[in-house]
Structure 1
Amino acid sequence: MLPVNRVTSVESGTVPIGRRRRLRYWFTIVRNKITTFNLFPDRVDDDENRIREQRYASRMKIYEDFRVQATGQFQLLQSFCELAEQTVVRALQDFATSEFITANVISATIFDAQMRSTINTFQLETPSAFISTLELIRRTTHGNAFMTVYASNW
């Protein structure tokens, strides 16, 4: 490298202008190369780690964005709706196939009471059938320590 007094003489104007421009250009190139040259090879790992951390952070932003997970959540919601629909359809089919036959003609009040009892039973058993199926899924997932892709615990 040039001595410090040489640099000061370049700035002071003792060197002709054309040479001054070339020297400034050369110093700029040398300065840029020194600053871009890796003088500390052990810092390469730090740079690689920094790049890895940035990549990891960008991937984590994807997971934090609800729109990425929304597909799975809506599929889960659709599955629950299908389960509820199947439960109701099955209960309605059972209700439609049930018969009320007596050997004698009964009064309207007894018939009305019997129908109310059947409807109340239908209304009580239908939600419990859905809940029992949902509870089975819940306990299986929790008991076997299954973990969904979306890290939900239900």
Structure 2
Amino acid sequence: MTRVLDSRKGLFYKARPLGAVVVALWAAVAVAEVASGAQLPDGAQKVGENRYRAPGDYEKTLEYYKIVYPVSSYPRRAIVNQPGVKAVHITNPSGKNFEGLNIYEANDEVRVYVVPVKSAPASSKPPTKKAEPKSGKKSR
């Protein structure tokens, strides 16, 4: 008796929906724009140095950053909450590439400011000269 190994009888492939969701999220994050090491929402437009206009409303932008930078790892604090103006600061605990993000809404527009890393303060002392090594030749 011979058996056909390539038979489809009774073996149907069922896609796993969780795997598809993970792949879709990974693909969405992979194409996101990055500025100074900080991830920006898809479709963000540069409007100035380290400043970007977010494509969605304030709440959608905050939801995006809750996924990209989880609250448990990236602390947040309210900067301003006045009529017509809302702002939140997201701290980058590693301090690499950027110190944090300011997300704010004013005049019906949502903007993201990437807070750059502060450069080290210049010391007041002039740099000291190192003694140059001698040439290795002996004089007689």
Give the structure with higher Rg (CA). Answer: 1
State the TM-score bracket (shorter-chain normalisation): under 0.3
**TM-score, structure 1 length as denominator?**
0.18
Judging by fraction of residues, say which structure has more strand: 2
